[in-house]
């Protein structure tokens, strides 16, 4: 009898420890947000003496947050992040004085991320673009040149914006962008996370990204007829070793962007879905080329051009 009680007590303690670990993980997971508050942005850029301003606007039921960095007299570059992320993803570029001498950078939290109704998914690329359309209209009304830059899933939204605004978008930089339906890797756990009885356990940030992931092929298929409307200057950076958003996305874009004013594909050997960290210099130089419409000779010489 005593041995049985002892064994039961041990099992109970193991159960309590597991429950505690489970609870701590859940508590930690709810705090995973990958976003920077207004106060944090103010503190950071005030200390750097970089002109900045933070704004919000209403688009239907969504409140969209965006921030401007640099002089408001310069051409505009709107930077659109992937998933899961926020405008913080491009932080290093907002601090790049070489860029800021030529263009004002605008970071925006896509719907569901950052401080744009955090945790509320928008799975339609067309709908996401509609929520960001007021930004395009705002700067176009000022008569300023607008360039778009995007990474990963942000590239899908930027593509749709360019389709809808062929006369307003001067240039586009696609970085590791998802553009071809079905040409990306889906983790097996994505289907587990999607189960209604498990969703409560995972961070809101991950749920929004997962909702996009599982609906992305259909969302891309819905905008495929618009590629011919894009007439901007295009630079596309993509790693040949990208096992998340396959290099075939870059080849797909090259095939479909027939009416682009110019097209330059820069394939990067040995680089995966990490161009921002591995080759930030290429991002900076590509943006400068788009803003100034002047090719920079320091770009990799193997770029494929179509003029």
User: What is the CATH number for 240?
Assistant: 3.40.50.1820
pLDDT bracket for residue 293 (50, 70, 90)? confident
Residue 128, both tokens: 């996401």
CA distance 184 to 172: 21
| DSSP single-letter state for residue 61 | T
* Residue 23, pLDDT score: 42
- Quick one: 6 and 84 in the same domain? no
- Quick one: 263 and 196 in the same domain? yes
CA distance 219 to 53: 33
Residue 231, both tokens: 């007439």
- For the chain, the domain total comes to 2
- Quick one: 124 and 234 in the same domain? yes
- Quick one: 88 and 223 in the same domain? yes
- Quick one: 69 and 138 in the same domain? yes
- Quick one: 164 and 266 in the same domain? yes
Q: Domain range holding 236?
A: 35-306
- Quick one: 12 and 128 in the same domain? no
Instruction: Decide if 117 contacts 186 (C-beta within 8 A).
Output: no
- Quick one: 25 and 6 in the same domain? yes
- Quick one: 123 and 98 in the same domain? yes
Residue 222, both tokens: 């819905």
Q: Where are the alpha helices (DSSP H) in the chain?
A: 2-29, 38-48, 91-94, 97-100, 125-141, 153-164, 189-193, 204-221, 248-256, 275-278, 280-292
pLDDT bracket for residue 193 (50, 70, 90)? confident
CA distance 135 to 157: 13
- Quick one: 24 and 50 in the same domain? no
pLDDT digits (tens, 9 = 90+) for 227-247: 999 999 999 999 999 999 999
- Quick one: 7 and 65 in the same domain? no
pLDDT digits (tens, 9 = 90+) for 1-60: 555 555 555 655 555 554 444 444 444 444 445 789 999 999 999 999 999 999 999 999
Looking up tokens 């570029």, which residue turns up? 93
CA distance 45 to 107: 14
- Quick one: 122 and 4 in the same domain? no
């Amino acid at each position: 009898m005593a041995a049985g009680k002892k064994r039961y007590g041990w099992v109970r303690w193991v159960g309590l420890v597991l429950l505690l670990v489970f609870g701590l993980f859940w508590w930690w997971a709810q705090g995973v947000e990958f976003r920077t508050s207004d106060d944090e942005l103010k503190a950071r850029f005030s200390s750097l003496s970089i002109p900045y301003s933070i704004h919000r606007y209403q688009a239907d039921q969504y409140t969209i947050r965006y921030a401007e960095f640099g002089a408001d007299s310069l051409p505009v570059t709107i930077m659109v992040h992937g998933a899961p992320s926020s405008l913080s993803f491009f932080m290093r570029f907002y601090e790049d004085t070489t860029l800021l001498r030529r263009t004002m950078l605008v970071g925006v939290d896509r719907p569901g991320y950052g401080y744009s109704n955090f945790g509320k998914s928008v799975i339609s690329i067309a709908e996401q673009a509609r929520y960001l359309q007021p930004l395009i209209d705002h700067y176009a009304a000022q008569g300023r040149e607008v360039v778009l830059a995007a990474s990963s899933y942000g590239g899908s939204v930027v593509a749709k914006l360019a389709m809808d605004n062929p006369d307003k978008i001067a240039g586009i930089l696609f970085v590791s962008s998802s553009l071809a339906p079905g040409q990306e890797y889906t983790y097996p756990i994505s289907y587990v996370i999607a189960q209604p009885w498990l969703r409560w356990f995972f961070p809101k940030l991950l749920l929004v990204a997962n909702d996009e992931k599982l609906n992305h092929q259909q969302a891309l298929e819905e905008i495929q007829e618009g590629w011919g409307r894009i007439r901007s200057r295009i630079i596309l950076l993509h790693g040949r070793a990208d096992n998340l958003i396959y290099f075939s996305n870059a080849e797909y874009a090259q095939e479909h962007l027939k009416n682009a004013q110019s097209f330059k594909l820069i394939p990067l050997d040995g680089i995966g879905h990490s161009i921002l960290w591995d080759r930030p210099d290429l991002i900076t130089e590509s943006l400068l080329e788009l803003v100034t419409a002047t090719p920079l000779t320091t770009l990799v010489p193997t770029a494929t051009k179509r003029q």
